[in-house]
Amino acid sequence: MRFGINSFLFTSPFTTQSTRLFPKFKKWGFETVEIPIEAPEHIDSAKVKAALDKNGLVCGSVCACMGPGRDFRGSAKDQREAMKYCKALIDHMVVLGCPSLIGPVYSVVGKADAVDPKQQKKEFALVVKNLKVLSAYAEKKGVQICVEPLNRFETDFLNTCDKGLRLIKAVGSPALKLHLDTFHMNIEEKNQAAAIKKAGKLLGHFHACGTDRGTPGNDELDWKPIVKALKSIKYKGDVVIESFTTDVKVIARAAAIWRRIEPTRDEIAVKGLKFLKKAFK
């Protein structure tokens, strides 16, 4: 199990020049970096890989940024754009030596509305169809895709561990896994530890966030059963801090961060990592 940091805490978009953050991440004690690639042309993956190697870090995951025009349940054009984008991310991952494409790899974020059961069924079938193709591509490239349930305010498509497992079963690819996040689970799951245990060997990625999107450990969440559950399923993937602040305006707006949750971004990273290391011992 490795501890990582999502670069959204410090910058958006992540570009090749953003590798200047790596020495700081290493100094703080992180082992992996989670890189959101908002557009494939933003990075030279060979140069980013060299910077990771130089600083003794690895790219543990690439985060899919499913913005407008990228939607596996949308129009034919949106589906094509989503596929082109996600395949390009996987190609970057091969160069980066990154094992996991993570996030809401199914639909544009923010699409949340009440749709009738017939439409739900149609959208589910579209996502399954597209993920079969993308998962086959991931298998060929030797990487995995970890789909993340989001809370009800960010999507109406995938909110819970149960529905995530249903989607994975429908796609039927060994390259498709589940990605759980403590912030989203705090809203949608009755019991986070139970959800983790239910995911079991299909849990491929994990985000550790405070209940307010702030520092893990500086919140009311009971982390002991969460840690126990991860250990009980022998989870070996990364545990990544994905917290946001008002400092990165684009992300703050997207994540509805309207106030300063913690004093500084550095404090979220440093204190969050210290807490997680102590919690997982």
What the block records as the tokens of 104 is: 């809401």
Closest CA to 29 of 280, 276, 279, 224: 276
pLDDT for the residue 247: 80
Q: Which residues of the chain have pLDDT under 70?
A: none
Range of the domain at 102: 2-280
Angstrom distances, CA of residue 116 to CA of 113, 130, 165: 10, 21, 22
Q: What pLDDT sits at residue 259?
A: 83
- Burial (0-12, 13-18, 19+ Cβ within 10 Å), 182: buried
Tell me which DSSP letter residue 246 carries.
T
In the numeric block, the tokens 């990487």 are attached to 143
Residues forming the active site: 148, 242
For residue 256, the domain's CATH number is 3.20.20.150
Residue-wise pLDDT for 188-216, tens only, equals 999 999 999 999 999 999 999 999 999 99
Q: How far is CA 274 from CA 2, 151, 155, 269, in A?
A: 13, 27, 32, 9
Number of domain units in the chain: 1
pLDDT digits (tens, 9 = 90+) for 128-168: 999 999 999 999 999 999 999 999 999 999 999 999 999 99
Q: Quick one: pLDDT at residue 246?
A: 77
Count of residues for the chain?
281
Average pLDDT, the chain: 96
